[in-house]
Amino acid sequence: MKKILVICSLSVVLFSCGGNKEKLTVTTEKISGPVLKSTFKVWGNCETCKENIESALKADGITTSDWSSETKLLAVTYDSTKITLDVIEKNIAAVGYDNIKYKGDNEAYANLPECCKYERK
């Protein structure tokens, strides 16, 4: 009985510690036909970051993009026959911003304004 109690106690401690970890996932929903909306984490800090990230997504096939400095989430709507999520993630990394799939380009990150420099993972 003591053995079961110890195992149960350890399980509670182990699972409760893991509950605070941030989930780093991409959610994608179909809007209409080939049009998809994906939401995922992009690191940054401020309104300048928002402008930089969203400007990197002015590409054929992308209809909307909205990055939140509070949640660090980017929501992007795009035509999957014209652009892929992988290309979108690479475009963001190319201007210096880490996302859940790609680390931002080091030179581009170094050239960001001080207000845009975030703690890199």
Q: Among residues 116, 28, 17, which one has the least CA distance to residue 72?
A: 116
Residue type (1 letter), 97: Y
Whether the predicted pLDDT of 48 surpasses 70: yes
CA 106 – CA 121 distance, rounded (Å): 13
42-66 in b/e form (b: 16+ CB < 10 A) is bbbbeeebbebbbebbeeebbeebe
- Of the pLDDT bands very low, low, confident and very high (cuts 50, 70, 90), residue 17 is very low
Whether the predicted pLDDT of 65 surpasses 70: yes
Q: Where are the alpha helices (DSSP H) in the chain?
A: 2-18, 47-55, 85-94, 106-110
Predicted local distance difference test score (pLDDT) of residue 22: 57
* CATH code for residues 22-116: 3.30.70.100
Whether the predicted pLDDT of 16 surpasses 60: no
Once rounded to an integer, what is the mean pLDDT over residues 28-53? 97
Predicted local distance difference test score (pLDDT) of residue 35: 98
Whether the predicted pLDDT of 107 surpasses 50: yes
pTM (global) more than 0.95? no
Give the single-character DSSP code of 38: E
Token code pair at residue 41: 């984490």
Once rounded to an integer, what is the mean pLDDT over residues 81-86? 98
Q: Tokens 């409760």, residue?
A: 16
- What backbone phi and psi angles, to 5 degrees, belong to 106? -60, -40
- Cα distances (Å, whole numbers) of residue 49 to 12, 22, 54, 70: 40, 21, 8, 12
Once rounded to an integer, what is the mean pLDDT over residues 70-78? 98
- Of the pLDDT bands very low, low, confident and very high (cuts 50, 70, 90), residue 97 is very high
